[in-house]
Homo-oligomer: A and B are copies of this chain.
C-alpha cells in the first residue's frame, strides 16, 4: 500500500506503532521498522541518557526509519528535543503539549514532525506551525486520551487540514485500516495490537489480560483530574473509579500516590493488583501472541483485500445486474 505517508517517510507500510510509555522501546520500534512500518520509541518520562541509549540501540537493530515520541509537558522535553537532533532521528511524534518551541530547529534538522492531536482546532494549529502530518487519535485508544471518537474525529480532521492525517484509535486489523483509508487517512497508528508481538517486552500477565479482554473490558479514569487515561478494568482501575465517584473520600494526592509507578508495575512486574494496564477498546480483537511482521502483513494485506473488493459492498452485482 502506497500513500502520502509511505512516500513522505520512505517506509513500506503506512502503519505506525504507537508510542506506549514504558513499552515502546528500541526493541519493539526496530522490529516494527524492520517489518516495514514506522517503529516509535516512547521517550515517556525517561531520563535523557536512557532515551539516547534507546535511540542508539534502535540504530544498531535497524537501518530503516524510526521515530521518537516526546511528551512535551515533561520537564526534560527541551533536552529530548535537542537529543533527537543530535542523534539524527528522522521522525518525531509529539503529544501532551505544543511543539512550537522546537519546530524551527527540528525542521532545520530535516526532522519530520507529526503531532498527535485530538481535535480539529489543534490539528489546524499544528498545520499552521509547519507539522508534516498529524495523528488524529480517537478516545477508544489506550493510555492518555481525548474525548472524541475516531469515527467522529477522523473525517472532521481530514476536512480541516491539507497535510496527511494518520488514524489512531480502534485499529487492530485490516478492516480498521481499510475504514481509515475510506475516511481519507494516509496511514494508521496501532498500539494495543502490538502488545501481542513477541518483540513487545511486557509482563506475561499484561499480555494475557489483553488476550482475554472483550469490547467492554476497558475503563477511563482520571477525568476528574483532567487527565483521562484508558486502561483495562483491573483491581486498581476499579478502585480509582470508585474513588472518583465519591469525592468526599477522595483526595487527588491519594489517587496520585496509588497510581504512581502503576504502569511500570503492569509492564515490568505483571502486578495484577496494583498495575495500570493501558489498552485500547479494540483489545477484544487481540486474542493471542504474534510478531511484528505478521501483524503488519496481516493488517495491510487484509486492508488491501477489503479495499479491492469494496465495490461489491454496493451489492449491484447481485441484484441490479
Contact = CB atoms under 8 A, between A and B. Distances in A.
Interface of A: 1-3, 6, 119-121, 138-140, 146-153, 155-157, 159, 169-171, 173, 175-176, 178-179, 181-184, 214-216, 219-220, 224, 245-248, 280-282, 284-285, 304, 306-308, 310-311, 313-316, 318-320
A314 to B, nearest CB: 5
A261 to B, nearest CB: 26
A151 B184 CA distance: 15
A215 B156 CA distance: 7
Contact of A315 (B3, B146, B157, B224): B3
A191 to B, nearest CB: 13
Contact of A284 (B156, B247, B282): B156
Contact of A181 (B171, B173, B304, B313): B313
Contacts of A6: 315
A188 B67 CA distance: 38
A253 B303 CA distance: 50
- The quantity of this chain's copies bound in the complex is 2
Q: Which 7 A-B pairs have the closest CB atoms?
A: A151-B170, A310-B310, A2-B315, A152-B281, A149-B149, A179-B179, A140-B149
Contacts of A138: 149, 151
Nearest to A178: B182
A199 B215 CA distance: 36
Given A148-B215, A156-B285, A280-B152, A182 B2 contact: no
B319 A2 contact: yes
Contact of A139 (B120, B149, B214): B149
A2 B316 contact: yes
B310 A307 contact: yes
Contacts of A281: 148-149, 152-153
A209 B58 CA distance: 50
A220 B146 CA distance: 13
Contacts of A320: 2
A173 B151 contact: no
Contacts of A280: 152
Contact of A121 (B119, B216, B282, B285): B216
A284 B160 CA distance: 11
B153 A314 contact: no
14 contacts: A119-B216, A121-B216, A138-B151, A140-B148, A140-B149, A151-B169, A152-B215, A152-B281, A155-B173, A159-B285, A182-B182, A224-B245, A247-B248, A248-B248
Contacts of A313: 178, 181-182, 307
A138 B139 CA distance: 12
